[in-house]
Amino acid sequence: MYTQPQLNYSFSDLEPHIDARTMEIHYGKHHKTYIDKYNAAVEKYPELAAKSLEEVIANLSAVPEDIRGAVKNNGCQSWNHSFFWTMMKKNGGGEPTGALADAITASFGDFEAFKKKFSDSALAVFGSGWTWLVSNNGKLEILNTSNEATPLTQGMKPIMVLDVWEHAYYLNYQNRRADYIAAWWNVLDWESIARNV
């Protein structure tokens, strides 16, 4: 069974960049529903329910076929959102320091170039998905995934993620995904993100 992690901030702490109502529905309804559905799927297989979420989604071929689709969709979405919440904090923003800053400079030239490349990538997601900064065999890369797909199960180490499903921004930004992406940089918790390197 998987328990939804608590947020380190309140729903209104990310305003005006991410509004409280969006956070309330995103965390309290969307994410909670993925977790509830994941738990409901694994419930009838005690040996599966006893494993960590990461273990289960990393080894989907071992999941019984009758629940594999539900476990994949809801399990990956559960993990992606739990990770996404740790990207942000009250009074966030600015730039990374230390090893993460050095790695970004080495891979992308400078922080502004990285920010533009990541933002352009997020804007280019067609339909529902996620934009990631990952370490792929020690090399930093930006990539997009569709729907529930997660680089965690593709042999890569996720460092940073942005949710670009419409439910993440539609209440406040409607079709203006570019504005949501631009605002998101103002709530980032670089100390938390740096712990993923």
Positions in the binding site for Mn ion (CB under 5 A):
163, 165, 168
| Least distance in angstroms from the C-beta of 81 to Mn ion | 6
| Least distance in angstroms from the C-beta of 105 to Mn ion | 30
SS3 21: helix
Complex with Mn ion: residue 42 or 162, whichever CB lies closer: 162
Measured from each CB, the residue nearest to Mn ion is 163
SS3 18: coil
* Rounded CA separation 48/159 (Å): 27
If one counts every other C-beta atom within 10 angstroms of the C-beta of residue 112, the result is 10
Tokens of 127: 């339909």
| Closest C-alpha to 64, from 43, 82, 83, 85 | 43
Complex with Mn ion: residue 18 or 41, whichever CB lies closer: 18
Complex with Mn ion: residue 108 or 173, whichever CB lies closer: 173
| Least distance in angstroms from the C-beta of 93 to Mn ion | 21
| Least distance in angstroms from the C-beta of 74 to Mn ion | 12
Distance of CA 13 to the CA centre of its chain: 18
| Least distance in angstroms from the C-beta of 80 to Mn ion | 8
Complex with Mn ion: residue 18 or 168, whichever CB lies closer: 168
Complex with Mn ion: residue 114 or 165, whichever CB lies closer: 165
| Closest C-alpha to 151, from 165, 132, 138, 129 | 132
